[in-house]
Each structure stands twice: as structure tokens, then as C-alpha cells.
Amino acid sequence: METCSNAEWKERGDKVFVGTYSRYPAAMISGSGCRLVDADGREYLDFLSGIAVCILGHCHPAVTAAIAAQASRLVHVSNLYYTEPQVRLAEMLVANSFADKVFFCNSGAEANEAAIKLARIAGGAGRYQVISLSGSFHGRTLATVAATGQSKFHKGFEPLPEGFVHAPFGDLEGLAGLISEKTCAVLCEPMQGEGGVRPLDGAYLRGIRELCDRHRLLLIFDEIQTGMGRTGTLFAYQQLGVTPDIITLAKGLGNGLPIGAMMARAETAAAFTPGTHASTFGGNPVASAAAVATLETLLANGFLPRVEETGLYLRGRLSELAQRFPQHIVAVRGMGLLLGAVLSESTSAQGTVIVNRMFERGYLLNFAGNVALRFAPPLVVERADIDTMIAVLAEVLAEL
Ligand SMILES: *Cc1c(COP(=O)(O)O)cnc(C)c1O
């Protein structure tokens, strides 16, 4: 096999890739648990998990074995037929959530597209408008980008599809004022991820639920980032006291294999009938087998409580940094192992600098929403790894 250095992979890639990403100058070659190794043999400690995807860490043995076994049996048949892994996965998701029915797709944006289409067709003629929140992120397809409440994602793509309005974050009356006879749903993340790890407080979420009930609107929770144990419970809604009508999943679902899901109660899901929606690859047997193995591991005794404990530990260590560097870190927020260190106004201009310096020292994290350093390590992260990361972050902050 040919071997190239980081610099060579970068040069070759930049020549042929569409320029949608500004990538770090590293070609990742292998991974295990929380560690990655690049083409120059450098090791990284991963506090981002491929953007909250590899929840069990890289190449978790149970998931790798499930992928290998399914890949040697059957890889794809389309949704014209049933497959064992897809049925098993749907049964597990239904047994562990409020939902009765599951639609599988391949990504987060596609899961939200399915939710938006379901809300429209269930709403009936003339009810098509979806209210989402400012600061939200729902994907990059035209409909999900229209639902996304951040104008930087809209620029250059207008006219965006009709039927999306944004309520100011945290403002229940503002949201109520947007409801009309055209409204079919409210779409929100129970905690904004890309928007800067910004939780929605319980009273706000309950208020949104009440508005939806009063106006017969569907409440869609985008748990693409917060779902799959990331917050310490299988889904974030389970610890917030508010149950949605539709939920969307993707990121952590397949521990790295591309799979998404849109789930709903039976009476809502009934609006989708044969021919109304589809996906060729959705719930592909290999991706579904990976997701079954991932869920089995997450649901095993003691796994989720440990996520909560480790999350509290990381939060405590970040809070110590906030006390030591109050000029840089003004707050620590989030749930479970999705945490943000909110930077002060002056330091936020250097958010990317901090992330780059951490990268140079072999620690992966990112800067979300131009406000917070985001920590989303594999849920199996060890306290010793948290301690070394915190020590290095302290050095970087001290050097600013
Ligand atoms: C990542 C993300 C999406 C988009 O998922 P893709 O798989 O990139 O399409 C949508 N919503 C939320 C909350 C996300 O974090």
C-alpha cells in the first residue's frame, strides 16, 4: 500500500476536493477508543468524536465485529424488502423511547427532512409552516438550511424554500406570536449543539410543549447531536420532562456508519403511507447492524450512569479552568458529555486559535457557534484523558 505524509495527502486532496471544508492538516489513518493516529504517526486524543458521532470511541470491537459479520452476509437490498438488522434496530428504538414507528435514512439532514415532510402531510392542506429557533442548526439541505436559525448558513442560497420562520431564542411570547393557521410544527434541539452548546431551560421547553398542545402543532425534537446517550440518558428529552411528537436521530446512532432515523407515535406516523417518502439506502443492513451493536452497548447496565458521572467530572474540571482563567472562560454549560466552555467576548475572537493550538499539541476539539469551546468526547473517555486534556488546555489559555 502506498504511504503518504500528512502534507502529501493534503496536497492531493486539495487538488481534487470541492472546497467546502477548511480541514486541519492531518490525514487520519487509524483510531482506537479516544485515540487517533495520523499519516505522520502523530497521536491525538479525540474530544470531538467526529462531531459527536463515535460515541463508543473509534473502532469499538462490538461495532467492528457487527459490521464485519453483516458485510460478509448481506450489504444492501433496498427497502423493497425486510432485513433482520433493520427490524431489530427499529424494535430497540421503539422499546426505549416514546415512539411507536421509525423511518430510517442516512444522515441528520435527511432525518429532519423526513420530520418536516411528515409534519406537513400530517398537518393537512394549508398547514405547512415550521417554527424553529434562532441559533439552531438542522442541516444543509435546502429545507433544513431554511429551518436553521443562523443567517450565515443561508447566504447565497436564496430564495430558500417557503414555510420556515424563526423565533428568537428563549422568547416564548415571540414564538407564540409566530403561530398562525399555516403553522404545522415547532422544530427545536432540546440543547443547541452547533449554536454553541446552549441548553433550553425546562420552563421554556414546557412552554413550547404547551403552545404546541394548545394549537395542535407537532413538536419535533432534533436530537441528532443530543441523542444516543450523549447527555447521560439515551435521549435528552428523557431528563427534561418534555416529550416531543417526533424525534430525529443520526450522529451517534451508528457509531460512525451513516444512518439517521425519524421516529414518531403511531397516530402521527400514519400520515406517511406507501409512496409518500423513501430512501434507497435508509437503514442499510450494515449501518443498521452497527447501530444495533451500538445501542446494545449503550443500554448495557451501568453505561449511561457512567456517562453522567464522567460528564460531571469533565464539567468540574472545566469549571476549575473557568475559575483560574475568568478573563477567558465565563461559563461552562451543557449536559452529560456535550459540554461547552463559553469564552469571554474578548477571548472569543481567539476561539479558533485555541482550537488550533490544542490540535498542534494533539488534542481535538472545536469552537461552536463562535461562542464556546465544544467538548464531545467518546462516551467511554477516561478521567486520566480528561486530566491531560485539561492540563494542556490550561497551558494554551495561559499563553494567550
Ligand atoms: C449534525 C446535525 C444535523 C445535520 O446532520 P448531517 O448528518 O450533517 O446532515 C442536524 N441537526 C443537528 C442538531 C446536528 O447536530
Helix, strand or coil, per DSSP, at residue 274: coil
- Give whole-number Cα distances, 73 to 66, 76, 153, 255, 377, in Å: 11, 10, 41, 20, 32
Residues of the chain predicted below pLDDT 70: 1-2
What values do phi and psi take at 211, rounded to 5?
Answer: -60, -40
Q: How far is the CA of 319 from the centre of ligand 1 (A)?
A: 28
Query: Three cell numbers at 387?
Result: 486530566
CA distance 142 to 158: 9
Q: How far is the CA of 8 from the centre of ligand 1 (A)?
A: 30
**Chain centre to alpha carbon of residue 128:** 25
Pocket of ligand 1 (CB under 6 A): 107-109, 112, 137-139, 189, 193-194, 222, 224-225, 250-251
Q: How far is the CA of 331 from the centre of ligand 1 (A)?
A: 25
Identify the active-site residue in 47, 103, 104, 137: 137
Helices (H) and strands (E) in the chain, counts: 14, 17
**132 phi-psi bin (left φ>0, alpha ψ -120 to 50, beta other):** beta
277 CB burial (10 A radius; 0-12, 13-18, 19+): middle
For the chain, what are the domain ranges? 6-60+302-399, 74-299
Q: At what angle do helices 61-71 and 285-299 cross, to 10 degrees?
A: 150
Contact 318, 328 (CB under 8 A): no
Q: Which of 263, 252, 261 is nearest to 282 (CA)?
A: 261
Cβ neighbours around 165 below 10 Å, total: 17
Q: What is the 3-state secondary structure (H, E, C) of 316-381?
A: HHHHHHHHHCCCCEEEEEEECCEEEEEECHHHHCCHHHHHHHHHHCCEECEEECCCEEEECCCCCC
Ligand 1 atom index nearest CA of 223: 13
pLDDT per residue over 36-69, tens digit each? 999 999 999 999 999 999 999 999 999 999 999 9
CA distance 105 to 27: 28
Cβ contacts of 166 within 8 Å, gap of 6 or more: 131, 132, 133, 134, 136, 149
75-110: burial string, b at 16+ Cβ within 10 Å, e else: eeeebeeebebbebbbebbeeebebebbbbbbbbbb
Atom 8 of ligand 1 has which residue's CA nearest to it?
108
How many CA atoms lie less than 13 Å away from 156 in the CB half-sphere?
3
Q: What is the CATH number of domain 6-60+302-399?
A: 3.90.1150.10
Cβ contacts of 90 within 8 Å, gap of 6 or more: 102, 104, 283
Domain 74-299 indexed as CATH 3.40.718.10: no
Contact 271, 121 (CB under 8 A): yes
Helix, strand or coil, per DSSP, at residue 58: strand
Question: Sheet holding 28-32: strands in order across?
Answer: 28-32, 35-38, 43-46, 363-364
What is residue 2's predicted lDDT score, i.e. its pLDDT? 65
CA distance 209 to 260: 24
Q: How far is the CA of 398 from the centre of ligand 1 (A)?
A: 34
Check if 222 is active-site. Answer: yes
What is residue 3's predicted lDDT score, i.e. its pLDDT? 86
DSSP secondary-structure letter at 10?
H
